[in-house]
Amino acid sequence: MTQDPTLVIVKDAGEMSRMAAEIVTEVLTARPTAPISLPTGSTPVGMFDALIDASRNGTLDLTRFELFCLDEYLGVTIDNPNTLTAWLKRTLIEPAGIPMDHVRTLPVDDPDPDAAAHRYDQAIASAGNLALAVLGIGNNGHIAYNEPGSEADSRTRVIDLTQESIDQAAGYFDGATVPTQAMTVGVGTLLEADRIVLIAHGAGKAEIIRRALRDPMSAQVPASWLRLAPDRVTFILDEAAAGLL
């Protein structure tokens, strides 16, 4: 019998953010050194703010966990302010007081990116797999940068970005040329996490959420593969993002 992932539908983005931050807190309270992945993009910013507040007021210790980044552009050096890592540093890592030596970044500047991606995958496995992966979803159904065409058993690897993702990323690039490739944690790697939380808000995400949850699972909508682990996956959606379910 097929089972659906847990669906939590909340009123708005604020509630979505609070609930996602609560799950991060729950996981880190049980295991302060847990390996965790957190997404980039506009969706997690409210969750980050809740985590920063909790860290600053001493109710959450973010100094001990291991943060595995989910994706990064290829062909940009890590000191480039437009990288996903630099964005995460400004938006979460520094304000939350997460020590940089606990942050694992994708080895995009390695001379052999394929081999380096494989080693990153192995580092996640060596950490005992992710205790928690919080994910956003792109309008094309990507999770991390697993673009359409990504299979359920895909591992951490280099991927060509779709034009849609390149256009979306342009908003963060301040006029500079957006790279056409990225390194992303694979769908299969994500599916090995103990717990996976996908967050989405707004009517703009309603159609892709419907496709991810209601259409047959397929590589065309990589987020649909999350239904392979229904007992470990929770979608936290606001009413607008859940509007077409």
Q: Convert residues 36-75 into a mask of x (bound to ligand PGA by CB under 6 A) and - (unbound).
A: -----xxx--------------------------------
Residue 210: other Cβ atoms inside 10 A: 16
Alpha helices by DSSP H, listed for the chain, are 13-30, 45-56, 84-88, 94-96, 113-126, 163-173, 187-191, 206-214
Q: Is 224 in the site for ligand PGA (CB under 6 A)?
A: no
From 5-13, 115-123, 132-140, 214-222, give the range in contact with ligand PGA by CB under 6 A.
132-140
Cβ proximity to ligand PGA, 41 vs 110, nearer residue: 41
> In angstroms, what CA-CA distances link 167 with 81, 100, 178, 196, 222?
18, 30, 8, 27, 19
The residue to which tokens 């809740």 are assigned: 50
For residue 24, the minimal CB distance to ligand PGA (Å) is 16
Question: Which two three-digit tokens encode residue 20?
Answer: 């996602």
Cβ proximity to ligand PGA, 137 vs 187, nearer residue: 137
Cβ proximity to ligand PGA, 142 vs 157, nearer residue: 142
The residue to which tokens 């920063």 are assigned: 52
User: Is residue 159 classed as helix, strand or coil in its secondary structure?
Assistant: strand
**Rounded CA separation 121/125 (Å):** 6
Strands laid side by side in the 233-238 sheet: 6-10, 233-238, 196-200, 132-135, 35-37, 66-68, 103-104
Cβ proximity to ligand PGA, 43 vs 156, nearer residue: 43
Q: Is 126 in the site for ligand PGA (CB under 6 A)?
A: no
Residues within window 3-42 making contact with ligand PGA, judged by CB under 6 A: 41-42
From 8-16, 78-86, 93-101, 131-139, give the range in contact with ligand PGA by CB under 6 A.
131-139
Q: Is 136 in the site for ligand PGA (CB under 6 A)?
A: yes
From 78-86, 135-143, 185-193, 227-235, give the range in contact with ligand PGA by CB under 6 A.
135-143
* Footprint of ligand PGA (CB under 6 A): 41-43, 136-138, 142
